[in-house]
Chain A
Amino acid sequence: MSAQGDCEFLVKRARELVSEDPWAAKAWLITARTLYPSDFNIQYEMYIIERNAERTSSAGRLLYDIFISFPEQPVVWREITVITAALRSDSQDKQTQFLRGLFETLPGSVQCQMLLKATEQCFNTLEKAEMLLLLLKRFPESVVQHGVSLGESLLEAENVENLDTPVNCFRKLFVCDVLPLIMNNLDMRLPASLLYKYMHKAAEFYISYVTRGPSADGQIQGTSLTGSQEVGGLKSPGVGRGGQRFVIDGLSEKSSVVCEPWERLLDIVAVVGARCDWQGDKGSRNYTELLQRVRELFRYLPSLEAEPMSRCCGQIVICSALVLFRSAYLYMSAVQPSLFQGHSALDSGPWILLEDLSSVYSEVELERSAGKHAHKKRKLTDGREKTMSSDDEEGLGKGRGRHILVNKSDFPGWAETLESFRTARESWDLLHSHDALETEFNKLCTAWKTESWLWFRIFLTDMIIYQGQYRKALSSLAQLAQLASFQPVQTQISAAASNLENHRALIQQASCHYALGEYRLACEKLLEVVGNLVPPTQEPIKSTEEAGRARTKPRKGNDLRLLPCTSKAILPFCLQLMLACFKLRAFTDGRDDLALGHVVVLLQHDWPQGETLFLKAVDKICQQGCFQYENFFNYVTNIDMLEEFAYLRTTEGGRVQLELLPNQGMLIKNPSPTLGVELNTLLLPGAQKADRHHTVTRGITKGVKEDFRLAMERQVSRCGENLLTVLHRFCINEKVILIQSLP
């Protein structure tokens, strides 16, 4: 018998026995091993028995022996590949856990060797990196040797692959896994430039990670559920439910998760700060402190010489930029959570930053605005758009200390959100308070392509609006629309979502135009929005209490308001804004019955908030002695107003000539589909009658009197109609007239 034959015989016997009597099988192999201690197959068979029985420690001991004695056996290498794959895997199945446990039983030196050799066998950069990471994590002393080269190879791989986002597998491994090892290893002495480079890479990654858009999963879910023609920015139930899954391409779901990104980023900044001897750096505990410190540092900036100044700039720019992006993100995630992954659309819909119009009903405001308007109008008639720049400068002054109003009960965490908005603005201001800082910051923005960050653009727009630079805001909004159309994520977003996005921009544009005194443009934008809104079936109840509050608090008139982007909130705003636009025109010295009529219609909303203004309008009508507004009976259903107008016609009321019946010609030509058949037929006979008498006289003929009475009676019966539906119809039907009646 040859040795080979002996060994085969022994292993064969063991194999035969292993299922029915594993102890006997092992006894055979122990014997075999004492006979042929250097035979691989005997030891491998021993290992396989223990491994299949998942006996961790004994399998580990045998694997150790095999690894030491037979390092060149291909079977051993296959086994090591399987084990190291298990180490990298997230899987929790029994076999994987066993293999991980098996690896743990090996002595450190063997683990180290195994991982190194397994790394050598990897040709895929990602796999290789993961393998090396296993090594570095276990054996910190190996970080000095392999840390930076691993990091650089990951960054290079990212470059080579030409990936379009920093949130990719290479960067993730670099930032979250490799970098902490390098940074926290005190034996590593890295030049400041490298530390800065790494910190920037980390910051770009973390910011992009946090602000990443909803993933494909979420979108699919979203579209399928919002297919039911949800318009008007209503919260569609089920859009992107909380548990959105996110996977970085090339990584598993588990390793795609980045915990507490802002905190991790802060950790890295703290290490870099310490390593680069930052001024006044005592290890930043939070972002507020970070900003506080560079603000102090900024005061010394002008007194510094070139070299320390550039160092100082570096510190100020990165710190304030991080605070800026973080605060802007926090603000945006509250104001428009749907932009980001993981924020359920159910949290809260988008909120729009707009001019506060709660003072629209007040007379005080009227005087001020009228004056301003007169000034504006004069310039407008000159046809010089350029003059608007003066308004922007004016706005700049206004940009300080403006209030942002918000309905606190609808917006939990409003205080924090507004605080974030403020901090972001302050960081921005700091970054633009010195040329050197601005240059440095712009470099950063270019490198990170912040231009393409939709969310940041939206924030910037809000900031510009806050600063009162409406002209700039308008161009930014236009840019935004362009940007949104380029965003792959945005294009995929459901009809409802993009509609919503559209509304947001339009309403803000309207608000800006209004603030610039461009009422016609404001109304154009507004009416575009209103057309898409669905009037709430029930009138809001709390509007009165809100109104009550607003009345007690006189406004300076340059406040802003955060409004939820819902039909319920937007429609009233649109009505107020239109009122604000027409109010000025209606109460000018000249006579503009159409504008006055619109105002009367619009004043119905939020009644009796507008009572004072209505009485002023009535005064004006009385002064004029006559008033012509043919849409009156279509849209005025307020009983108080109807009474007042009925009274005006009486002797006591001053026998005012009221021409309020609809222009029959127009009605016949355009039977309004929204009015419904009933109302059209109701109105038409009356109209025909009026037509008959039209040529006779415009005065108080018997027939007209009768028509008016009938119309009034009919109108009284309409009092119960949903006012918002009526006003919504008003906006849609009279769109052309409304726009035309503004300069």
Chain B
Amino acid sequence: MSDIRHSLLRRDPLSAAKEVLYHMDISLGSALQSSGAGAPVLDKSTIDLVEEFIFHVPKDRSVPPKRMSCVQELQLLEIMCSYFQEQSKDAVRQVIFSALFSLQGNKADESRMAMLGKLVSMAIAVCRVPILECAATWLQRSHSAWCVRLARVLVDDYCTLVPSSFSTLQNICSASPRFCCQLITAVTALYDMSSEDMTPPPSLLEMVVGWVTEDPRLLLLTLINMPLGTSLPLGGLDVTPLMGLLRWCVKAPLAYQRGRKLSLTNGHGEQEKGVGCEELYSKLHLSVLQVFLMLQVHLTEQNLLGRLAVLQLESVAVLMEEVSRLVEELNPLHAASHIQLALDRLAQALQVAMATGALLCTREDLRTLCSRLPHNNLLQLVMSGPVQSTHGAPYQSNFYPHIHPPRSSPLPPHNTHPALSTHNTHPALSPHAAHPALSPHRPLTPHATHSSLSPHAFHPAAMTFPYRPIR
């Protein structure tokens, strides 16, 4: 090994980095072939080589770190780009990507993140689907703090730095829906509406709404492709962006109102901000509800109904707290309609999520959680539940399924999901430090009161009937 290192040391940084990539490809490729089913593990020495020659972490004090010039770095990124593009074996690609960019909890991580950000940004620019797919997996396995960082780099690059290049980002939805799904989750984790800076930029919002309304199923992609029984890394992103998007929709009326109040007191004439966004949030909210309905089909098919909490009750509790805090900040007299809108959306989401099995809780639980919120008719109705007497027993769904078999996902199923054995134990860098990190799987007994209902109600136009009339 040290032979390799010595020869590498004599080379210029770019060719050394290339050489390491080449070396990894050879050794992993052959390991993958010989080991068969088992996932090949990169030996320590190779990892060291990667850190030293690609991420330039000084190995020993005797050798001064050889930094690459900007041009060389760009060349290296180009080489990586084409490497991942041309590597035909999915597994090899995944392993190498993971070997390069999996966070190790050491000094090299900052460099990794820097290079990953540049690589993904470049892949978006030139539409390198294999890299985006690897990045999607990376977003699934990494701690949310790192995911948020990647998201910020991309948002900076595409929304802030060069807004004209925004359409490029928009287009990748069709190229790599999986990546988009994870990216949405990451940006909702990034922009949590906790402050004005943390409200999503309008262009980002517009893009996300565009993606979601085009195909709401996108939001469930990661969940659907996740093999049953996969455990998620601790502190990772949510499996779906639903909670994050719900936070946006519920808090938006209040957050923009707060922003307006601030700008008024500061004397800035920024009143227009958020006006055009109202419609976007309304659309987004509807999509979220529709996705809950779709989710029910998936859960039922997988026999997961009542066993998998897609929305965490804890996250919901946090959201309610945030809402009540925001309400307190606002003058109820001036913001009454906005508060009611936020509460309407919250109530709707809670009801639909409960009814579709996305949120596992009783109405009793809800009453406790909502106690601090102002009065809202719908919320009241949701907390008390439907009046049963006149309608008899809760309507047990007549699904389409026997007549309309569920449509197979238009998006290619993604099976390359090697067992995640390694939980990256990271210093808790959760952006939502307020709520405790919990296992995403909370096995529960099926909830008795929730009624399932036809998932096709108000489905978006993109969803068509699988059956055509016989002619």
Using CB atoms and an 8 Å cutoff, list the residues of chain A in contact with chain B. 1-4, 6, 9, 13, 21, 23-24, 26-31, 33-39, 43, 46, 50, 55-58, 60-62, 64-65, 68-69, 104-109, 111, 137-139
* Min distance, Cβ A22 to any Cβ of chain B, angstroms: 9
**A-B CB proximity, top 6 nearest:** A37-B395, A34-B355, A3-B387, A23-B286, A38-B395, A31-B348
Contacts known (A58-B458, A58-B460, A65-B456); A27 close to B285, Cβ less than 8 A: yes
List of A residues within 8 angstroms of B457 by Cβ: 30, 33, 43, 46, 61-62, 65
Contact assessment for A61 and B286 in the assembled complex, using a CB-CB cutoff below 8 Å: no
CA–CA, A111 and B386, complex, Å: 34
Contact assessment for B348 and A27 in the assembled complex, using a CB-CB cutoff below 8 Å: yes
Partner of B387, one of A1, A21, A105: A1
The residues in B between 386 and 407 inclusive whose CB is less than 8 angstroms from any CB of A are: 386-392, 394-395, 397-398, 400, 403-404
Q: Which of A58, A64, A111 has the most CB of B within 10 A?
A: A58
CA–CA, A13 and B340, complex, Å: 13
The residues in B between 319 and 364 inclusive whose CB is less than 8 angstroms from any CB of A are: 344-345, 347-348, 351-352, 354-356
- Segment touching A, from B44-52, B116-124, B131-139, B462-470: B462-470
Closest to A57 in B: B464
17 A-B residue pairs with Cβ-Cβ distance under 8 Å, sorted by A, are A6-B381, A23-B282, A26-B286, A26-B458, A27-B282, A27-B345, A27-B348, A28-B344, A33-B453, A34-B451, A35-B385, A38-B395, A62-B457, A64-B400, A65-B456, A107-B465, A139-B470
Partner of B469, one of A4, A62, A104: A104
The residues in B between 280 and 313 inclusive whose CB is less than 8 angstroms from any CB of A are: 282-283, 285-286, 289-290, 293
Contact assessment for B286 and A107 in the assembled complex, using a CB-CB cutoff below 8 Å: no
Instruction: Answer yes or no: B471 CB below 8 A from chain A CBs.
Output: yes
Contacts known (A65-B454, A104-B469); A35 close to B381, Cβ less than 8 A: yes
Instruction: Answer yes or no: B104 CB below 8 A from chain A CBs.
Output: no
Partner of A34, one of B351, B388, B391, B456: B351
* Min distance, Cβ A133 to any Cβ of chain B, angstroms: 14
List of A residues within 8 angstroms of B469 by Cβ: 104, 106-108, 111, 138
Contact assessment for B387 and A27 in the assembled complex, using a CB-CB cutoff below 8 Å: no
Partner of B352, one of A4, A30, A46, A137: A30
Number of A-B contacts (CB under 8 A): 132
Contact assessment for B460 and A37 in the assembled complex, using a CB-CB cutoff below 8 Å: no
Interface residues on B, range: 35 or more
CA–CA, A324 and B469, complex, Å: 43
List of A residues within 8 angstroms of B3 by Cβ: none
Contact assessment for B387 and A61 in the assembled complex, using a CB-CB cutoff below 8 Å: no
Residues 397-423 of B, flagged 1 when their CB comes within 8 A of A and 0 if not, give 110100110000000000000000000
List of B residues within 8 angstroms of A36 by Cβ: 386, 391, 395
The residues in B between 432 and 471 inclusive whose CB is less than 8 angstroms from any CB of A are: 451, 453-454, 456-461, 463-465, 467-471
CA–CA, A367 and B281, complex, Å: 108
Contact assessment for B470 and A61 in the assembled complex, using a CB-CB cutoff below 8 Å: no
* Min distance, Cβ B431 to any Cβ of chain A, angstroms: 28
Q: Which of A31, A36, A108 has the most CB of B within 10 A?
A: A31
Contact assessment for B403 and A24 in the assembled complex, using a CB-CB cutoff below 8 Å: no
CA–CA, A38 and B398, complex, Å: 11
Partner of B390, one of A4, A68, A105: A4
Extra inter-chain contacts (4) besides given A3-B391, A34-B354, A58-B461, CB under 8 Å: A2-B390, A30-B458, A38-B392, A57-B463
* Min distance, Cβ B327 to any Cβ of chain A, angstroms: 20
The residues in B between 62 and 114 inclusive whose CB is less than 8 angstroms from any CB of A are: none
CA–CA, A137 and B471, complex, Å: 7
Closest to B377 in A: A9
Contact assessment for B465 and A23 in the assembled complex, using a CB-CB cutoff below 8 Å: no
List of B residues within 8 angstroms of A31 by Cβ: 289, 347-348, 351-352, 378, 382
